[in-house]
């Protein structure tokens, strides 16, 4: 059965800290891995990763995929209180539908 | 529109009532997905449309759940005879085309069944 596991489930840090969120997966015929940020509104897209070893960056956020070891990490440097959210990792397996299989999410709280 | 729009944002239903949840996808997006997100969990796939065709409904938890997208744009998720276990956030997402395209999500409808 296809599965996505995120760790840690929750994390509390102080502003300025760097955090690393983990996502491991077991899927048949992997196609892509996506990261979303979910606040009390629509989950917003962060990154889509399809190739191993190529880091994607957007400001203080970056992510990388390891298709051999079947995991991805999401790094946030110099955290701010506005980074407080649930971070969701999702995997698309090769199928006709493109449906996403989500992990449980990591709840990040950044304290001032 | 600018993004995926869902209505209502909140819905309270008595057990046994029928509910209808609406999703307006991004204009021009061919693919539309419904997900169910229980408290403290990640979203779980319910069903997928490509235009008006429902190509995958493998995630619908029971025959009380029904979705449609008759003109290939707006979609409605209907839940008949709601049960307490149906309480969740129902998220809609759309993408330009299905596989390997970014799905953009709406804010969801939070359904509470009393």
Q: Give the domain A3-111 fold.
A: Immunoglobulin-like (2.60.40)
SS3 A83: helix
- B49 has a pLDDT exceeding 80: yes
Determine the Cα–Cα distance for residues A93 and A31; give it in Å rounded to an integer: 5
Determine the Cα–Cα distance for residues A106 and A85; give it in Å rounded to an integer: 8
Closest listed residue to residue B7, CA positions, set B17, B19, B21: B21
A56-58 and A44-49 strand pairing: unpaired
- Stretch (H or E) spanning B35: strand B31-37
pLDDT of residue B98: 61
DSSP state of B14: -
A106-111 and A10-14 strand pairing: parallel
User: What's the count of helices (H) and strands (E) in chain B, helices before strands?
Assistant: 0, 11
For the domain covering B5-113, report its CATH number.
Answer: 2.60.40.10
SS3 A81: helix
Measured between beta carbons, which residues in chain B are less than 8 angstroms from residue A104? 40-42
Distances from the Cα of A110 to the Cα of A6, A16, A46, B110, angstroms: 19, 9, 18, 26
- B75 has a pLDDT exceeding 70: yes
Which whole number is the average pLDDT over B58-77? Answer: 96
> Where do the domains of chain B lie?
5-113
Distance of CA B83 to the CA centre of its chain: 17
- Selecting from B98, B104, B108 the residue whose C-beta is nearest the C-beta of A98 gives B98
- Choose, out of B58, B99, B104, B107, the residue to mutate when testing the contact with A (most A CBs < 10 Å): B99
- B7 has a pLDDT exceeding 80: yes
> Within an 8 Å CB–CB cutoff, is residue A27 touching chain B?
no
pLDDT tens over chain A, length 112 residues: 889 999 999 999 999 999 999 999 999 888 999 999 999 878 999 999 998 888 999 999 999 999 899 999 999 999 999 999 999 999 998 776 788 999 999 999 999 9
The predicted-structure confidence for B77-101, as pLDDT tens digits, reads as follows: 999 999 999 999 999 999 997 666 8
């Amino acid at each position: 059965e296809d599965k996505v596991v995120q760790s840690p489930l929750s994390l509390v840090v102080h502003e300025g800290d760097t955090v690393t969120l983990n996502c491991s997966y077991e899927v048949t015929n992997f196609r892509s891995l996506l990261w979303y940020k979910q606040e009390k509104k629509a989950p917003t897209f962060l990154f889509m990763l399809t190739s191993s070893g190529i880091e994607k960056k957007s400001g203080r956020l970056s992510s990388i995929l390891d298709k051999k070891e079947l995991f991805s990490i999401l790094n946030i440097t110099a955290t701010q209180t506005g980074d407080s959210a649930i971070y969701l990792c999702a995997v698309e397996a090769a199928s006709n539908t493109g449906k996403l299989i989500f992990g449980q999410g990591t709840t990040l709280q950044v304290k001032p | 529109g600018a993004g995926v729009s869902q209505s209502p944002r909140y819905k309270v239903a008595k057990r046994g009532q029928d509910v209808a949840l609406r999703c307006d996808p991004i204009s021009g997006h061919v693919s539309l997905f419904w997900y169910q997100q229980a408290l403290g969990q990640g979203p779980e796939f319910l069903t997928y449309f490509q235009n008006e065709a429902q190509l995958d409904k493998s995630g619908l938890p029971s025959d009380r759940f029904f979705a449609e997208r008759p003109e290939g744009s707006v979609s409605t998720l209907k839940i008949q005879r709601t049960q307490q276990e149906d309480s969740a956030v129902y998220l809609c997402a759309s993408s330009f085309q299905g596989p390997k395209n970014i799905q953009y999500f709406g804010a969801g409808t939070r359904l509470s069944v009393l």
